[in-house]
Amino acid sequence: MKKIITISAPGQLMLLGEHSVVYNRPCLVTAVDQRMRATVELIENPELQLDAPDVKVIGYKKSLEELGNGGMPKGAKFVEIAVRNFSEKYGLKSGIKVTTKSEFSSLFGFGSSSASTVCVTKALSELSGIKLSQKAIFELAYKTVLDVQGKGSGFDIAAAVYGGILYYVIGGKVLQPLQIDSLPLIVGYSGVKADTVTLINAVKEKADKYPQVIDGIYTEIETVVEFAKKSLKKKDWQSVGELMNINQGYLSSLGVSTKKISAMIYSARNAGAYGAKLSGAGGGDCIIVLTPATKKRAVEKAIIQAGGEVIQVKANAEGARIEK
């Protein structure tokens, strides 16, 4: 039996369907080629040891019996609860040492916590000899996210496990890979780290006050997602871009866009992009831009001039895998 293994999982970007996905509407999400890596080793001491320098966690230790109890550094929560959940379901016969390293900053909103959760869950399944299916890894990792955050749709977990471009409904009720071999995407970082749970709660307050209005917006976003799914399959980038712009309008009406994000989006559009919108909960993080190849440089320059940073990533990346 192996005693050490390295697993990597991709980051993710929401293409269309933010916020409405939390309320049982579909979304479109893509895995991106910047990856999280976790090296997991079986050790003699019955404890979790964690080194995660990207989130400033070094030399963290806790006995297996105490996992989930007491204080946990923010950067250790997902790994600790992932190990606890695996241990409770399948059992652990030894201690675990986890070392994580990310190719992307946790600031970007690429789903670093979800990727690390998937890496650790898959690693433990391999080291224990159980070799869980993708579906089983998804379900256990999704439980971990809910245990830590209290809420979440799981689209980021799905992207980390399966990779590619997915049509997805909360909890994996629908999880459909789309066979698309390319996506001419540019990613711009706003320089602001958003808090997903805070933004979800802020939108919920609006929904509680104006339930019919907000539910109507979610229904319209669902319609946009369904049209975009068809256009993606046809590689009709012009239509996908137009639908991204419409989706952005609905997100603005929910109050999750910002002046900085809007400036980046309009600059990209004015430079010749098919379409542009925020990606994720909003309030900061990244925008995504669909653009013709002939306009790529002009669009990237426009994003930078608007105060953004262009992040070099490719969509449609491979899901969680064993690294040799």
Q: Within 10 Å of residue 224's Cβ, how many Cβ atoms?
A: 22
Q: What does the DSSP assignment read for 58-112?
A: EEEEEEGGGTTSS---GGGHHHHHHHHHHHHHH--SSEEEEEEEESS-GGG-S-H
CA contacts within 13 A on the Cβ side of 251: 32
Q: How far apart are CA 234 and CA 232, in angstroms?
A: 5
- Among candidate residues 33, 156, 195, 215, the one labeled active-site is 156
Q: Strand, coil or helix: what is 241? A: helix
Q: Is 156 a catalytic residue?
A: yes
DSSP type of residue 170: G
Letter for the amino acid at 36? M
CA contacts within 13 A on the Cβ side of 113: 21
Q: Which two tokens stand for residue 280?
A: 């994720």
Q: How far apart are CA 135 and CA 86, in angstroms?
A: 14
Q: Strand, coil or helix: what is 289? A: strand
Phi-psi region of 19 (alpha: psi -120 to 50; beta: other; left: phi over 0): left
Question: Tokens 């970082």 belong to which residue?
Answer: 189
Contact call for residues 113 and 154 (beta carbons, < 8 A) = no
Residues assigned a catalytic role = 156
